[in-house]
């Protein structure tokens, strides 16, 4: 029999339990159902009893002595008994194995920690990427409850989240993620399905190769590209990749070239080399740069050499030279990162014929040669680079780095400074100034490193981290071994402020005075430059009160540009200020707003609280 009427009555009785049994008298919904129960009661006694119980509930004979609660309980008890007898306890259909996907994941995280990550994966807005990255680094995605959300993140509107999930989060599950991706995979889909296939190809077992090959063969374009790329690791699909490299669609051919480059077999190398002679030269060049085949490298070097020598024959034909230069650029792209004796000889030839190739306007060719030679630790390579720097100041960094590796500290200084001392004094000579600036720049790259450091946000909310720009310099012991002591005097002579800070020597009064003069006479310093000068004074072991006064002079100068945030080196010096500077610091604090103002307020609170300084990376 149908239980629909009984279920409807059950819902109405639940309503009365909530609303109160006193409201049952005259209830129009129960009255509407009563005739149906009375009609059924003519055929089944149980329905007759239900009809009578409903009547007693909604139409009491004696309203004064009527106990609605008891009547409600009676009819409910009877109804529950009837419903229990009408329930089905057997399972329909045939028994079989459950479609399960085993996993070793557990639900080990308290929901308090899980909630933020779930919110980041299920919503939109800023700040979500950082939460997801942090959660992955902390191993939180090993909680089973985040797996399905991680899969859904493949279709997140924020590209960075999609890429991070595809490259890190999902592969982090290992092979156990594959069945979950395969279950919803549709080879005819778009980018979402291609992303799934990339993960399957990366962590899936050999059993998945059939699915990947089928997707590469007959899927949508996006899916085909992902499948072809995944097959580059499996040599048994070499012939298919060669065939796909001749496909009508450019995107498919490009994917096949990169897969062949990853495979790196002789057949793959031969196909890539063949493509250099056709319409796909640009695609083949980009793929060849990723290929480790020495066979391909040898062929490309030989072809490039032939093209460079052919330039002599075509130099008077402008159109042919333009076509030739395009081919040369593709060969250079394909050889990027490659090393061989033949390529070394070819770049040597290029440098020795500098004037010829510059007359063609082929500066990029010389750049490739310079980059290659700068990685060769030989006297010949150094000689060629020094020859290049004499021809063009843009190659001073290449030559200097090579000389720094091969020459002694004294020889390095003698070559770049002592032998050219008279030239450095020619201030009006533009070429000399360019050379000097290039020299300063390459030395600065070697001794000054700018990086962002995490530190506790002492001036803000607790347990938060802030990122401040910090300037790092090699230890003084390392500087003494790697650099001649004469550099410091020369940098002071040339007014190279930042380099004086890096080369500052302990107890050197001259460089101390130089840096103090820069701090007091020049205004408009940014926080990073000011921090470098303060670090230089500390490096030169200037007395504490001298450094403190220098810092206060900077802060009190209204023309400086340190108004938004004090970067690491200045902040570190601020935290070392003794409490005796409280009054002066309080006087200038209103001039600073935003983070800088909060930083000053924090330092003032610490001074006022206990009269002591606190280190920049220390919590209080």
Q: Which two tokens stand for residue 25?
A: 């008298």
Query: Mean pLDDT over residues 585-606, rounded?
Result: 85
Contact indicator for 417, 486 with CB cutoff of 8 Å:
yes
Alpha carbons 182 and 561: distance in angstroms, whole number: 57
DSSP letters of 449-514? EEEEEEEE-TTSSTT-EEEEEEEE---HHHHHHHS-THHHHHHHHHT-HHHHHHH--TT-HHHHHH
Q: Does residue 572 lie in a domain region?
A: yes
Query: Mean pLDDT over residues 316-337, rounded?
Result: 94
Return the SS3 of 106: strand
pLDDT tens-digit map of 293-322:
999 999 999 999 999 999 988 888 899 999
pLDDT at 91: 65
Q: Does residue 510 lie in a domain region?
A: yes
For the chain, how many structural domains are there in total? Answer: 2
pLDDT at 63: 63
pLDDT at 89: 62
Residue whose tokens read 């390579």: 381
What confidence tier does 462 reach under pLDDT thresholds 50, 70, 90? low
Backbone phi, psi, residue 221, to 5°: -60, -45
Q: Output the CA–CA distances (angstroms, integers) from residue 167 to 4, 158, 191, 291, 352, in the order listed.
A: 53, 15, 15, 22, 45
pLDDT at 19: 83
Residues linked to residue 465 through DSSP beta bridges, in sequence order: 456
Alpha carbon distance, N-terminus to C-terminus of the chain = 75
Q: Does residue 467 lie in a domain region?
A: no
Treating both helix axes as pointing N-terminal to C-terminal, what angle do 318-334 and 294-314 enclose, rounded to 10 degrees? 160
* pLDDT greater than 90 at residue 371: yes
User: Which comes out higher in pLDDT, residue 447 or 528?
Assistant: 447
Alpha carbons 25 and 61: distance in angstroms, whole number: 11
Backbone phi, psi, residue 505, to 5°: -110, 140
Quote the DSSP letter at residue 167.
I
Alpha carbons 462 and 453: distance in angstroms, whole number: 18
Half-sphere exposure of 587 (CA within 13 A, CB side): 10
User: Which comes out higher in pLDDT, residue 525 or 105?
Assistant: 105
**Residue at which a domain ends, from 25, 50, 85:** 85
pLDDT at 619: 41
How many other CB atoms are found less than 10 A from the CB of residue 397?
Answer: 20
Backbone phi, psi, residue 451, to 5°: -145, 160
Q: Does residue 518 lie in a domain region?
A: yes
Contact indicator for 162, 168 with CB cutoff of 8 Å:
no
Alpha carbons 143 and 4: distance in angstroms, whole number: 42
> Distance between alpha carbon 512 and the CA centroid of its chain, in Å?
41
Return the SS3 of 526: strand
Alpha carbons 553 and 520: distance in angstroms, whole number: 7
> Distance between alpha carbon 493 and the CA centroid of its chain, in Å?
43
* pLDDT greater than 90 at residue 572: no
* Residue range(s) defining the domain that contains residue 529: 504-610
Q: Does residue 516 lie in a domain region?
A: yes
How many other CB atoms are found less than 10 A from the CB of residue 71?
Answer: 20
**Residue at which a domain ends, from 85, 112, 127:** 85
| DSSP β-ladder status, 465-472 and 449-456 | antiparallel
Contact indicator for 351, 373 with CB cutoff of 8 Å:
yes
Burial of 357 (0-12, 13-18, 19+ CB in 10 A): buried
What confidence tier does 6 reach under pLDDT thresholds 50, 70, 90? confident
Label residue 442 left, alpha or beta by phi (over 0 means left) and psi (-120 to 50 means alpha). alpha
Residue whose tokens read 């002079």: 553
> Distance between alpha carbon 219 and the CA centroid of its chain, in Å?
30
* pLDDT greater than 60 at residue 428: no
| 579 sits in which H/E element | none
**Residue at which a domain ends, from 85, 100, 123:** 85
Query: Mean pLDDT over residues 595-599, rounded?
Result: 85
pLDDT at 235: 93
Label residue 366 left, alpha or beta by phi (over 0 means left) and psi (-120 to 50 means alpha). alpha
* pLDDT greater than 50 at residue 88: yes
What confidence tier does 27 reach under pLDDT thresholds 50, 70, 90? confident
Q: What percent of the chain has pLDDT over 70?
A: 92
Q: What percent of the chain has pLDDT over 90?
A: 52
Alpha carbons 620 and 604: distance in angstroms, whole number: 14
Query: Mean pLDDT over residues 564-585, rounded?
Result: 85
Q: Does residue 585 lie in a domain region?
A: yes
pLDDT tens-digit map of 155-212:
999 999 999 999 999 999 999 999 999 999 999 999 999 999 999 999 998 999 999 9
pLDDT at 158: 94
Q: Which two tokens stand for residue 233?
A: 């690791």
Quote the DSSP letter at residue 170.
T
Alpha carbons 236 and 210: distance in angstroms, whole number: 12
How many degrees, rounded to 5, is the angle at CA 591 between CA 586 and CA 513?
80
Q: Any residues with CB less than 8 A from the CB of 344 and at least 6 apart, and which?
A: 372, 373, 376
Beta strands in 282-396, from DSSP E residues, in sequence order: none
Q: Does residue 597 lie in a domain region?
A: yes
What confidence tier does 100 reach under pLDDT thresholds 50, 70, 90? confident
pLDDT tens-digit map of 38-58:
888 888 888 889 888 888 888
Q: Any residues with CB less than 8 A from the CB of 527 and at least 6 apart, and which?
A: 469, 561, 562, 565, 566, 567, 570
Q: Does residue 228 lie in a domain region?
A: no
pLDDT at 319: 92
pLDDT tens-digit map of 487-525:
999 999 888 889 999 999 898 988 989 988 887 776 556
User: Which comes out higher in pLDDT, residue 89 or 576?
Assistant: 576
Alpha carbons 64 and 79: distance in angstroms, whole number: 26
Q: Which two tokens stand for residue 536?
A: 């230089």
Which of 4-13, 336-345, 392-401, 419-428 has the lowest average pLDDT?
419-428
Q: Rg (Cα) of the chain, in Å, rounded?
A: 39
* pLDDT greater than 70 at residue 563: no
Range with the largest mean pLDDT of 25-34, 291-300, 563-572: 291-300
pLDDT at 2: 59
Burial of 121 (0-12, 13-18, 19+ CB in 10 A): buried
Backbone phi, psi, residue 482, to 5°: -90, -20
Query: Mean pLDDT over residues 68-92, rounded?
Result: 81
Residue from 355, 335, 326 nearest 288 by CA: 335
* pLDDT greater than 80 at residue 148: yes
What confidence tier does 136 reach under pLDDT thresholds 50, 70, 90? very high
Q: Alpha helices of 483-615 — where are they, by DSSP H?
A: 486-494, 497-503, 509-521, 527-539, 544-556, 568-574, 582-588, 594-610
* pLDDT greater than 60 at residue 564: yes
| 332 sits in which H/E element | helix 318-334
pLDDT at 96: 78
pLDDT at 620: 37
Q: Any residues with CB less than 8 A from the CB of 486 and at least 6 apart, and which?
A: 413, 417, 418
How many degrees, rounded to 5, is the angle at CA 393 between CA 387 and CA 394?
100
pLDDT at 87: 67
Alpha carbons 566 and 557: distance in angstroms, whole number: 15
């Amino acid at each position: 029999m149908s239980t629909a009427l009984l279920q409807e009555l059950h819902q109405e009785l639940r309503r009365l339990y909530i609303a109160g049994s006193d409201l049952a008298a005259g209830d129009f919904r129960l009255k509407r159902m009563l005739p149906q129960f009375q009609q059924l009661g003519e055929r089944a006694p149980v329905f007759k009893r239900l009809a009578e119980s409903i009547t007693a509930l909604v139409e009491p004979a004696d309203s004064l002595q009527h106990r609605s609660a008891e009547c409600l309980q009676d009819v409910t008890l009877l109804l529950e008994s009837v419903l229990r007898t009408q329930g089905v306890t057997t399972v329909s259909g045939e028994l079989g194995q459950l479609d399960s996907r085993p996993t070793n994941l557990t639900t080990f995280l308290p929901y308090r920690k899980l909630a933020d990550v779930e919110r980041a994966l299920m919503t939109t807005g800023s700040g979500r990427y950082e939460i997801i990255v942090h959660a992955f680094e902390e191993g939180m995605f090993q909680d089973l409850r985040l797996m399905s959300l991680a899969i859904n993140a493949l279709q997140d509107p924020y590209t960075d989240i999609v890429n991070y999930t595809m490259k890190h989060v999902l592969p982090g599950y290992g092979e156990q993620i594959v069945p979950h991706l395969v279950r919803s995979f549709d080879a005819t889909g778009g980018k979402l399905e291609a992303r799934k296939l990339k993960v399957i190809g990366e962590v899936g077992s050999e059993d998945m190769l059939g699915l990947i090959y089928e997707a590469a063969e007959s899927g949508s374009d996006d899916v085909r590209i992902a499948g072809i790329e995944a097959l580059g690791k499996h040599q048994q699909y070499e012939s298919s990749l060669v065939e796909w490299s001749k496909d009508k669609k450019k995107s498919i051919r490009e994917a096949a070239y990169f897969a062949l480059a990853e495979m790196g077999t002789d057949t793959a190398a031969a196909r890539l080399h063949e493509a250099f002679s056709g319409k796909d030269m640009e695609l083949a060049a980009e793929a060849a740069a990723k290929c480790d085949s020495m066979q391909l490298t040898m062929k490309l070097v030989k072809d490039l050499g032939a093209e460079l020598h052919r330039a002599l024959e075509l130099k008077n034909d402008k159109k042919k030279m333009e076509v030739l230069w395009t081919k040369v650029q593709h060969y250079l792209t394909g050889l990027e990162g490659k090393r061989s004796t033949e390529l070394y000889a070819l770049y040597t030839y290029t440098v020795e014929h500098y004037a010829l190739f510059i007359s063609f306007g082929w500066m990029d060719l010389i750049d490739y040669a310079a980059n290659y030679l700068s990685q060769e630790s030989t006297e010949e390579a150094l000689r060629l680079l020094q020859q290049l720097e004499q021809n063009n100041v843009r190659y001073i960094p290449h030559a200097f780095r090579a000389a720094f590796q091969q020459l002694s500290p004294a020889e390095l200084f003698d070559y770049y400074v002592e032998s050219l001392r008279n030239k450095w004094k020619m201030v009006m000579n533009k070429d000399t100034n360019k050379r000097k600036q290039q020299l300063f720049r390459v030395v600065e790259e070697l001794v000054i490193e700018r990086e962002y450091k995490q530190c506790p946000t002492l001036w803000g909310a607790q347990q938060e981290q802030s990122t401040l720009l910090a300037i790092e310099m090699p230890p003084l012991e390392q500087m003494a071994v790697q650099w001649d002591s004469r550099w410091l005097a020369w940098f002071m002579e040339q007014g190279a402020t930042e380099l004086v800070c890096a080369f500052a020597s302990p107890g050197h009064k001259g460089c101390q005075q130089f840096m103090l003069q820069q701090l007091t006479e020049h205004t408009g310093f940014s926080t990073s430059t000011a921090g470098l000068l303060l670090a230089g004074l500390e490096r030169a072991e200037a007395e504490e009160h001298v450094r403190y006064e220098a810092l206060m002079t900077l802060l009190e100068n209204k023309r400086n540009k340190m108004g938004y945030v004090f970067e690491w080196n200045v902040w570190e010096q601020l935290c070392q200020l003794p409490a005796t500077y409280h009054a002066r610091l309080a006087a200038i604090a209103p001039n600073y707003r935003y983070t800088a103002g909060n930083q000053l307020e924090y330092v003032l609170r610490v001074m006022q609280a206990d009269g002591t300084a606190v280190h920049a990376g220390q919590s209080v």
